[in-house]
């Protein structure tokens, strides 16, 4: 078990990660800020509190597995992995450049990435497979799966949800980044997910709905998920797309667009401490 978390230190990481995400996107000239900024606290809570992992030994067989099913949020993944020590931070400058192992969508060429994603709706099935494997091998590592809210509109997610409950995969923890916005607009306008908590419950899951920007409650939810037996847990993390940069928040226009140099400057000036 990890030590009691230093919430102030984790918050400081989240602040720095947002800055590095924006800088990384600006240098690349393309990529996905909105769903990266909304997932910062989720990634910090996982990689700097909950997960058992060894950045200097990424293939350690007892490591917890993380499947980033919304593979377009590579900026937050790479900033997290670099800061955790999987590869030098200098590499972030080569994000989306030819020959770099930091591709636009997460890829196993990157140390610390478990599975290639980008085509939405597949990650939970992969997580289930890994978790079934762990049970067969009597291994105690856990598998986490980060999904987008728009991603939940994919039918394959719900097939996987049934599978996890049927097999009582209490070693799976899904996290939904419920940032309210998909590629082209609000979830509630395009295809509403509500009532989301009862939907997951009816599929046999233990459900926790939390403020996805509050590191203390995220951490408590991750602990509760681990303590829950015979059922998979989903943490519905209520977030804001673009969190931390007021002019990006809830704006579908910032789903897949890099800030130019002036926009980067403006964003860094107003960057919020969450
Ligand atoms: C199967 C599939 N369909 C469409 C896309 C194109 N696409 C990339 S991101 C995205 C929006 C995803 O929205 P959401 O899951 O809410 O992600 P977030 O808000 O966290 O960025 C879409 C439609 C895709 N990657 N895969
Ligand atoms: Mg979304």
> What is the average pLDDT across 202-210?
98
Taking the centre of ligand 2 as the mean of its atom positions, its distance from the CA of residue 137, in whole angstroms, is 35
Residue 158 pLDDT grade (very low, low, confident, very high; cuts 50, 70, 90): very high
pLDDT value at 245 more than 70: yes
| Contact by Cβ (8 Å): 101, 107 | yes
pLDDT value at 3 more than 80: no
Helix (H, G, I), strand (E, B) or coil at 110: coil
What is the extent of the structural domain holding 147? 7-270
| Contact by Cβ (8 Å): 41, 265 | no
pTM (two decimals) = 0.98
Predicted confidence at residue 159, as pLDDT, reads 98
Residue 4 pLDDT grade (very low, low, confident, very high; cuts 50, 70, 90): confident
Instruction: Examine residue 1 and state whether it is found in any structural domain, yes or no.
Output: no
Q: Check if 177 has its Cβ closer than 6 Å to any atom of ligand 1.
A: yes
CATH assignment at residue 151: 3.40.50.970
- The per-residue pLDDT for range 115-145, each reduced to its tens digit, is 999 999 999 999 999 999 999 999 999 999 9
Instruction: Examine residue 220 and state whether it is found in any structural domain, yes or no.
Output: yes
With tokens 């400057």, the residue in question is 265
Instruction: Examine residue 2 and state whether it is found in any structural domain, yes or no.
Output: no
Instruction: Examine residue 108 and state whether it is found in any structural domain, yes or no.
Output: yes
Q: Check if 241 has its Cβ closer than 6 Å to any atom of ligand 1.
A: yes
For residue 170, give the DSSP letter: T
- In this structure, the residue with its CA closest to atom 18 of ligand 1 is 35
Q: Domains in the chain: how many in total?
A: 1
| Contact by Cβ (8 Å): 178, 196 | yes
Instruction: Examine residue 20 and state whether it is found in any structural domain, yes or no.
Output: yes
Instruction: Examine residue 258 and state whether it is found in any structural domain, yes or no.
Output: yes
Q: Check if 188 has its Cβ closer than 6 Å to any atom of ligand 1.
A: no
Q: Check if 212 has its Cβ closer than 6 Å to any atom of ligand 1.
A: no
For residue 119, give the DSSP letter: S
What is the average pLDDT value for the chain, to the nearest integer?
98
- The per-residue pLDDT for range 75-107, each reduced to its tens digit, is 999 999 999 999 999 999 999 999 999 999 999
Instruction: Examine residue 178 and state whether it is found in any structural domain, yes or no.
Output: yes
């Amino acid at each position: 078990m990890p030590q009691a978390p230093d919430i102030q230190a984790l918050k400081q990481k989240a602040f720095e990660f947002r800055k590095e995400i924006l800088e990384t996107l600006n240098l690349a000239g393309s990529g996905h800020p909105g769903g990266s900024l909304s997932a910062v606290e989720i990634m910090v809570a996982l990689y700097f509190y909950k997960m058992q992992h060894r950045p200097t030994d990424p293939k350690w067989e007892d490591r917890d597995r993380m499947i980033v099913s919304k593979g377009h949020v590579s900026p937050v993944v790479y900033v997290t992995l670099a800061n955790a020590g999987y590869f030098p931070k200098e590499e972030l400058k080569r994000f989306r450049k030819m020959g770099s192992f930091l591709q636009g969508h997460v890829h196993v060429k990157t140390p610390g990435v478990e599975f290639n994603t980008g085509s939405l709706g597949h990650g939970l099935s992969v997580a289930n497979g890994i978790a079934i494997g762990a049970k067969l091998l009597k291994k105690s590592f856990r598998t986490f799966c980060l999904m987008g809210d728009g991603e939940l509109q994919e039918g394959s997610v719900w097939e996987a949800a049934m599978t996890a409950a049927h097999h009582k995969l209490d070693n799976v923890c899904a996290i939904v980044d419920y940032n309210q916005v998909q590629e082209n607009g609000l979830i509630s306008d395009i295809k509403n997910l509500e009532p989301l908590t009862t939907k997951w419950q009816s599929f046999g899951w233990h459900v926790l709905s939390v403020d996805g920007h509050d590191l203390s409650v995220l951490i408590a939810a991750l602990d509760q998920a681990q303590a829950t037996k015979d059922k998979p847990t989903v943490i519905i993390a209520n977030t804001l797309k673009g969190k931390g940069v007021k002019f990006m928040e809830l704006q579908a226009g910032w789903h897949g667009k890099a800030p130019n140099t002036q926009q980067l400057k403006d964003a860094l000036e107003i960057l919020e401490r969450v």
